[in-house]
């Protein structure tokens, strides 16, 4: 092995890196993990359940990295986890414990999930005789436009269910927007603004240049706005797939791989004329989006993110099931969106 050499990265900082170059020689892949990577349907969400799911997920990601072909950046959802943190906040107020704002809860969930992924990936690397592969979680802020129309039209349900009386009282006390959530109870809704930039992109690039596997932009990132040269957290939720696409741009990725609990993309989903697609052009994807073929908050943002990535200049965008991740990268599974 060659001795470490001092190398300058894109941020102008000095790093100690293995070998003589940090030039990108492997295919750089942003892997966007769906909720099933951490919590399966029907589970209570105990730590043990989540860790077992993450362990299986880490085996899939580990195969990509250990193949020697791919340099991987990991991002993930956080819906059940941040929801649980909000419930704990709500319960704690009865005992005089101050509730934390949503941006802080998002940061907590990034640390929680990143911790599990780091541990489980290390297990995979140690078992393969590669304990030298480092993994690090970046608590990531995602910049949004303070004038985004979403702030005038909150639509994303968050937190616990309330009775109508409780919800309207909280709305008056806290300035929340509350709605009846499909007859199941009343919930708070928050804006879902479009992600514009990754605040920690240079730090993530530094990690890649130093051959670290970064975990970043968890749960769509912590939404922040810029005011007077400062970043300020806002009460909002960014779609994780759209934020993952911004992350892919920020790290100059070759591939955006969105992993979920279905085999790929289908049109006329769950109808007699259902058809699964192996390839889909950007033009076809846009037409299907306009037709309303994909469910909002589910497949729709995944397809939209894939389209954005290809239009930005990405080489490949793939939507596939978690358990066939490596096959999807090899072109043997999933749906690929092409120019």
- Residues labelled as active-site residues: 35-36, 156, 240, 302
* CA pair distance 72, 59, nearest whole angstrom: 13
- In this structure, are strands 230-233 and 186-190 parallel, antiparallel, or unpaired? unpaired
Give, in order, the Cα–Cα distances in Å from 89 to each of 41, 131, 136.
24, 38, 27
Angle at 227 between CA 224 and CA 229, to 5 degrees: 105
* CA pair distance 305, 294, nearest whole angstrom: 13
* CA pair distance 11, 18, nearest whole angstrom: 18
Give, in order, the Cα–Cα distances in Å from 74 to each of 21, 30, 180, 301, 328.
23, 6, 35, 18, 16
Residues forming a β-bridge with 72: 29
Quickly count: other Cβ atoms within 10 Å of residue 126's Cβ.
12
158 CB-near residues (< 8 Å, 6+ apart):
82, 83, 86, 102, 187, 188, 189, 190, 237
Q: What are the tokens at 307?
A: 């389209």
* Strand residues in 212-269 grouped as ranges (E): 213-215, 222-227, 230-233, 255-260, 265-267
* CA pair distance 85, 217, nearest whole angstrom: 18
């Amino acid at each position: 092995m060659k001795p470490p050499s001092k190398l300058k990265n894109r941020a102008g900082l000095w790093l100690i890196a293995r070998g003589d170059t940090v030039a990108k020689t492997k295919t750089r892949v942003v892997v966007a993990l769906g909720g099933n990577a951490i919590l399966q349907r029907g589970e209570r969400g105990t730590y043990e359940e989540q860790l077992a799911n993450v362990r299986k997920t880490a085996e899939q990601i580990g195969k990509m990295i250990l193949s020697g072909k791919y340099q991987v950046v990991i991002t993930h959802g956080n819906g059940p986890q941040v929801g649980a943190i909000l419930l704990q906040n709500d319960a704690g107020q009865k005992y005089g414990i101050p509730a934390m704002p949503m941006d802080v809860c998002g940061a907590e969930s990034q640390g929680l999930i990143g911790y599990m992924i780091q541990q489980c990936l290390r297990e995979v690397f140690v078992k393969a005789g590669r304990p030298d592969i480092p993994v690090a979680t970046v608590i990531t802020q995602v910049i949004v436009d303070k004038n985004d129309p979403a702030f005038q039209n909150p639509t994303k349900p968050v937190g616990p269910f309330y009775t109508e009386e409780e919800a309207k009282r909280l709305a008056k006390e806290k300035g929340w927007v509350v709605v009846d959530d499909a007859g199941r109870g009343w919930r708070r809704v928050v804006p879902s603004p479009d992600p514009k930039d990754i605040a920690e992109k240079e730090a993530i690039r530094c990690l890649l240049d130093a051959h670290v596997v970064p975990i970043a932009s968890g749960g769509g990132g912590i939404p922040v706005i810029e005011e007077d040269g400062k970043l300020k957290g806002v009460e909002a939720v960014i779609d994780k797939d759209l934020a993952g696409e911004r992350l892919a741009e920020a790290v100059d990725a070759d591939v955006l791989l969105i992993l979920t609990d279905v085999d790929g993309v289908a049109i006329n989903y769950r109808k007699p004329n259902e058809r699964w697609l192996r390839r889909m052009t950007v033009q076809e994807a846009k037409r299907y989006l306009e037709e309303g073929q994909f469910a909002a908050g589910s497949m729709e943002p995944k397809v939209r993110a894939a389209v954005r990535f290809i239009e930005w200049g990405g080489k490949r965008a793939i939507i596939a099931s978690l358990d066939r991740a490596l096959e999807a990268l090899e072109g043997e599974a999933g749906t690929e969106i092409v120019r």
